[in-house]
Chains A and B, each alone.
Chain A
Amino acid sequence: MISVRNLHKSFGDQQVLKGIDVDLMPGKCNLIIGLSGSGKTVLLKSILGLIQPDEGTILYDGRNLKTLESHEARKVRQEMGMVFQGGALFTSQTIEENVRLPLDFFSTMSASEKRDRVHFCLERVRIQNAAHKSPAELSGGMQKRVAIARAIVLNPRYLFCDEPNSGLDPETSMVIDALIQDITHEYGMTTVINTHDMNSVLEIGEHVMLLKGGEKTWEGTNDEILHADQPDVVDYVFRSNLMKKVRGALSRG
């Protein structure tokens, strides 16, 4: 479990996070939702350690990165996998090399064991035929799958995804969502997903938190979100005509 306590972050005069408290559950897809500028990305990057918060603590199963010795902190880091919005694949390397990089740095496996592990991960995301291609030869959806394979290659305890569906068609989005959920359940990972795709929220949002103006304004599950009457949730979720119709249908029973 990742516990976030009283997290504050400002950039100049602008307060982006205003005392966030949340527990991100293991074995579940924890979704952070909110409008653009609500602080989702800053929260995710703070949890990842890419941004230093001004105040507050983040505990990874009780371990605080700030108070750990550097070699212990590095070990915690190796338990994290991240799927970036654009994939962030290394363009000068092949798909196989991209997925193998964390193993090359942090595992003591032999070359053949590494090859097997890479092929297993590529097979797990159903992209085994692309091993020798370069990232530029792949579609956006395929690049996301490679990013997932790279993120899970070291068997992480924590998986972070920054808008994994952005730029993807609805069908590919669903495939990616399903893949993330399957992997989360299979490995019992604490998965944190930053998104504003309502379809993802309804499909895989086992634990959803809504951010507004740097504050957590609601927390619940994907079932609860459809019936919530908290104004911020209603304002966020039922903004589109489609969702308004869904709400109408739900209220009619």
Chain B
Amino acid sequence: MIYRFLAELGAYWKFLLQVFRRPERFAEYRKAFWRDVDSLGVKTLPLVIIISLFMGAVVTIQTALNLEDPLIPRYYIAIAVRESILLEFAPTIVSLILAGIVGSNISGSIGNMRITEQIDALEVMGINPAGYLVLPKILANVFFSPVLLIFSMTGGLVGGYLAGWWLGLLSPGEFLQGLRLEFQPFYIAYSIFKMTVFAFFIASVSSFFGYRVKGGPLEVGQASTQAVISTILAIILFNYILTDLILQ
């Protein structure tokens, strides 16, 4: 079991070395980068906003239910919502969701290219398939993740604001007061860093599983499932490690 895990880890590192080899032609990689920014980033933006809006609303409702003591000011609800959204929900939960959506997309498309010999075709042409197919995806995911994060944070806070106001849990003034109180901008930098690390794992781990598929469509499906599970585990593990290292 441990031997197998270490062997997989070694294979993943070897794969990354292949991915980060010098591109044959930068212009082609740049084209692929912008294509991937669109397909992996821009197209997931509406979903991230919708999820974040509802996530913010639910966190507000649950916090309000747990802070019913009349001695606790209502703006404390907004503080709790802010901290939850900025520190954990926006970077981690959104990354877990993206691991499912983007991760399965990446491993499925690369796996399909493998079984239909498109990857072999690139290799025969003298193009490094791992670099050409994976590097732009990793860079697109990493560079677009702060954008997704900012939209997710904003969506979560707007959702919380609307839920608080709509359900009469706290007034808009109290919500805004809570948002501003003892706000630490460092939390945003911390979240961006965390999300960037997760974005790297989403793209690289999913690509790794797709790239080494052997067999047919059934194996591509299995690789996608494995990719999503492994990415989620990596995110959870590194979430713990980064939180411990940075916030402690």
Question: Quick check: B116 and A88 within 8 Å, CB to CB?
Answer: yes
Q: A15 CA to B116 CA in the complex, in Å?
A: 26
Q: Is B83 an interface residue (CB 8 A)?
A: no
Q: Is A245 an interface residue (CB 8 A)?
A: no
- B contact face: mostly helix, strand, loop, or mixed: helix
Question: Quick check: A105 and B120 within 8 Å, CB to CB?
Answer: no
Q: Is A74 an interface residue (CB 8 A)?
A: yes
Question: Quick check: B126 and A84 within 8 Å, CB to CB?
Answer: no
Question: Quick check: B24 and A105 within 8 Å, CB to CB?
Answer: yes
Question: Quick check: A105 and B123 within 8 Å, CB to CB?
Answer: no
- A contact face: mostly helix, strand, loop, or mixed: mixed
Q: Is B118 an interface residue (CB 8 A)?
A: yes
Known: A105-B24, A105-B25, A105-B28. A78 touches B118 (CB 8 A): no
Per-residue CB contact flags for chain B residues 118-153 toward chain A (1 = under 8 Å, else 0) read 101101111100000000000000000000000000
Which chain A residues in 151-171 approach chain B with CB under 8 Å? 160
A70 to chain B, nearest CB (A): 10
Interface size for chain A: under 10, 10 to 19, 20 to 34, or 35 or more residues? 20 to 34
Q: Is A80 an interface residue (CB 8 A)?
A: yes
Interface size for chain B: under 10, 10 to 19, 20 to 34, or 35 or more residues? 10 to 19
A44 to chain B, nearest CB (A): 11
- For the complex with contacts A48-B124, A85-B117, A106-B125, 8 further pairs of A-B residues with Cβ separation under 8 Å are A50-B123, A77-B126, A78-B125, A78-B126, A80-B124, A81-B124, A88-B116, A90-B121
**Chain B residues with a Cβ under 8 A of chain A:** 24-25, 27-28, 112-113, 116-118, 120-121, 123-127
- Can you sample 14 A-B contacts with CB below 8 Å? A48-B124, A77-B125, A78-B125, A80-B124, A82-B121, A85-B117, A86-B116, A88-B116, A88-B117, A88-B120, A89-B118, A91-B116, A106-B24, A106-B25
